[in-house]
Chain A
Amino acid sequence: MLLEIKNLHAIIKSNGKEILKGIDLSINAGEVHAIMGPNGSGKSTLSSVLAGNPSYEVTEGEVIFNGKNLLELSPEDRSHEGLFLSFQYPVEIPGVSMSNFMRAAINEHRKYKGLEPLSASDFLKLMREKQEYVELNNKLAGRSVNEGFSGGEKKRNEIFQMAMLEPKLSILDETDSGLDIDALRIVAGGVNKLKSSENASIVITHYQRLLDYIVPDFVHVLYKGKIVKSAGKELALELEKKGYDWIKKELGE
C-alpha cells in the first residue's frame, strides 16, 4: 500500500480547533482517488496535514507512506519521499525565477537520492521537456515563482512542477478551479500522462467535469472532518446531480 491513513485527527495550532476528526483512507499505487465535499469540510486541511504544514497539529492517528511513518518526516523529506501537493492557492515568491526555484528543488531531490546535481544544460533540457506536458509557455518559466501569474497559469505551473518532480503520490487540491475549458483539458491531459502503475493521486474537486478527464477509481465524500461516504466513480455523478443534502440526510442531519 502506498498511503494508509488511520484515524487521523488534526487541529489548527493557532486556535486549537479540531478540523480533521478521524480520517481513514487507503491508497494503492496505480489508483486515483477523488475527494469531494462541501466548502470548509476539511479537504485542504487534509492535504496540508499530509504535506506537513506547520500550522496544523496532528493529535491522533497515524499515516504510513511508502512504508515510512509520514508524520515523523519534515515537510521537505515528505517531498523527497515522493509526496507532492498542488496547492489550492499557489504562493508567490517575488524575485525568485521559476528556473532557480525548480533547480533548487530538483537538486535537493537528487541529493536525497544520493545523486549529483543536474548540470545547467541537463536542467534546462528537463525544464523544456516538462513544460510541454502542460503546454506552459517558456516565458512563464523565466518569471518569478507565480508572481503576476493568472489563476489558470498558477494551476498549470503546479502541474509543471509535478511533472518535474515525478512524485509517487500527488494531491491535487482544486487544480481545476480557475481553469478555462481548454486549460482544463491540457492540465488533465498532463496529469494523465504522468499516471503510471507506480504512482497514485488524490484529486480534490467540486465538479464532475475534471473527473470526466481524470477518471477516479474511488470517490470519497469528506464532511465535517470525516470521510462519510466512499464509492466508485458514479458517486461523483450522483453528487453533481443531487448536491450534498441527501448525504446529510443519510447522516441523520
Chain B
Amino acid sequence: MDNIVDKVTNEDYKYGFTTDIETEVIPKGLNEDIIRLISKKKNEPEWLLEFRLEAFRHWQTLTVPTWPHLSIPEIDFQDIYYYAAPKAEVEGSENKEIDPELLKTFDKLGIPLHEQKALAGMAVDAVMDSVSVKTTQQEALAELGIIFCSIGEAVQNYPELVRKYLGSVVSHTDNFYAALNSAVFSDGTFVYIPKGVRCPMELSTYFRINAKGSGQFERTLIVVDDDSYVSYLEGCSAPMRDENQLHAAIVELVAMEHSEIKYSTVQNWYPGDKDGKGGIYNFVTKRALCKGNGSKVSWTQVETGSAITWKYPSCVLLGDNSVGEFYSVAVTNNYQQADTGTKMIHIGKNTHSHIVSKGISAGHSQNSYRGLVKVVENASNARNYSQCDSLLLGDKCGAHTFPYMEVRNETAIVEHEATTSKISEDQVFYCNQRGIKTEDAIALIVGGYAKEVISKLPMEFAVEAKNLLSISLEGSVG
C-alpha cells in the first residue's frame, strides 16, 4: 500500500465559512456570576439555576479525565465565552422575523428554515452557538401532541416535564464534561412523544458553531412515552479556524414501555487542517434509558469531523426485554483523534444489545473503540453481540480496541469479535483494472466496509454520509 498512500493534500471542508452577524456575548470565563447571568438571560426558574450551580460546584472539585487514548492539549476553561447569542430576529419585526443572514447560513448548510421550503417529512431545530434560531413544523407536530422545541423554550412552556427528566439519565456527577455542561448548557432540543404516537416525520437538530472563542454546550432531551416511536437526527458543522473550540454536549433519551427511539448522528465538526491545527473538541455524553419493558433505543453515528472526539452513546437497559443498539462509523484522517464507543448496561431481564463499530483511520490519526458491556446480577438471559472492525489506510495511523466486559450473571451470553484490515493493493488494482481510478476505488471500498452502519441511517442521510466518508478521506491515498 505504501506506494499509493501518502500524497496528503489539503482536503475540502465545505462548511468552513463564517456568518457575519451581530452576536451578543457575555464576558469570557466561568464562575457563579456567569452562571447566574446565563440563567437570567434565559429567564429560568429558580430550580434550574440551583441545578446549574450545584453542577458547577461539583465541577470545581473535578479534574480533566486522562483515561482516553487521546492527547488533549490543556484547555483554559476561563478563556471561553460560555454564552454567544446571534441576534436571530430582525429588530422590531412583529412576527419574529428571522435575520436573512441566518436563513442564508442554514440554506447554505442545506437546512432550509422557511416553512414553505422545509424538507418534506422532516422537522428541524436550528441552533447557532448558544441559541435556537428556529424550529420548523411545530404546529403540525403539536396536532399529534408531539412537543418539538428548543430546550430553552421547553423550560418556559413545559417546566414540569423538563424538571422531571433533566439530569435523570446523565447526572451532573457523571463526568467532568457532564458537570460542565450541566452548569452552563445553552440550547439544544426537547422532544416529547405522547403515548401511542408514531412520529410521522424525522425530527432533527442542526448545530452550528459560529462565534469565535466560544464553546457550544448543547443539551438535548428526548422522552418517548409508552408505545410510541421517533426517529431523530442531528447534524453539525463549524467554521474553519486556527483555534480549537469546545463542544461539550449532553444528550439524554428516555424510552418508556414498548417505545422506540432511533437516534442518528452525522458529525461533521471542523476537523482542523492537514497539520492538525484548529478543529473542534467534541466531548459529549450521550445516554439512553430504556426504562419501560420492551423499549428499544438505537444509536447510529457517522463521525467524520472534529479534531478530537470523545463520546460513548450508551444504553441503560432497565426494562425487561429492552434492546440497545449501537452502530458507528468513525473516520479519522490527518491528525484527528477519536476515542469512541458505547456502554450497554444490562439490568432488566432478557435484555439484548448489539454493537457494530467500524473505525477507519488514515494519515497520522488515532482511532480507538472503547466499549463496556455490563450485565448486573439480576439481569438473567442478557445477550450481547459486539463487532469492532478497524480499517487502516496507510501505516502512520493507529487503530485500537478497548472492549471491557463485566458479567455478573451466568445466564448471559456475551460475544465480541474484532478485526483489523487494510485496504489491499489487490482490491485497488482490481478496481483500477475495471476502469475505476484509485480515489474512487477507495471510496467504493470504504463505503462497502461501512455499509452495515450507513444502511441504518434514514435514507436521505445515507447518501450524504457516504459522500462525507469519501470527502474526509480525500487526499489520504494518492
Contacts and interface: CB of A to CB of B under 8 A. Distances in A.
A54 B430 contact: no
Contacts of B435: 76, 79-80, 105, 108-109, 112, 165
A88 B435 CA distance: 18
Residue of B424, B426, B431, B444 with most chain A CB atoms under a 10 A cut-off: B431
Contacts of B427: 91-93
B425 A79 contact: no
Contacts, number: 83
Interface in A77-100: 78-80, 84-85, 87, 90-96, 100
A93 B424 CA distance: 10
B429 A101 contact: no
Interface in A91-134: 91-96, 100-102, 104-105, 108-109, 112
Interface string B146-190: 000000000000000000000000000000000000000000000
Contact of A96 (B424, B429, B433, B448): B448
B213 interface: no
B421 to A, nearest CB: 9
B41 interface: no
Nearest to B429: A53
Contacts of A184: none
Contacts of B430: 87, 90-91, 93
B3 A74 contact: no
Nearest to B444: A96
Interface string A139-173: 00000100000000000000001000100000000
B396 interface: no
Contact of A93 (B3, B425, B438, B444): B444
Contact of A74 (B426, B437, B452): B437
Most buried by A among B3, B427, B431, B435: B435
Interface residues of A, number: 33
A52 interface: yes
Contact of A101 (B4, B426, B434, B452): B434
B20 interface: no
Interface residues of B, number: 25
A95 B4 contact: no
Interface string B436-451: 1110100011011111
B444 A100 contact: yes
Contacts of B23: none
A49 to B, nearest CB: 12
B432 interface: yes
Which of A55, A84, A91 gathers the greatest number of chain B CB atoms within 10 Å? A91
A78 B429 CA distance: 12
A243 B83 CA distance: 85
A7 to B, nearest CB: 24
Contacts of A85: 433
Interface in B196-221: none
Contacts of B429: 51, 53-54, 75, 91
Nearest to A147: B448
Interface of B: 3-4, 424-427, 429-438, 440, 444-445, 447-452
17 contacts: A52-B432, A54-B3, A54-B4, A55-B425, A74-B437, A78-B433, A79-B432, A85-B433, A87-B430, A91-B424, A93-B431, A93-B444, A96-B448, A101-B434, A101-B436, A105-B434, A108-B435
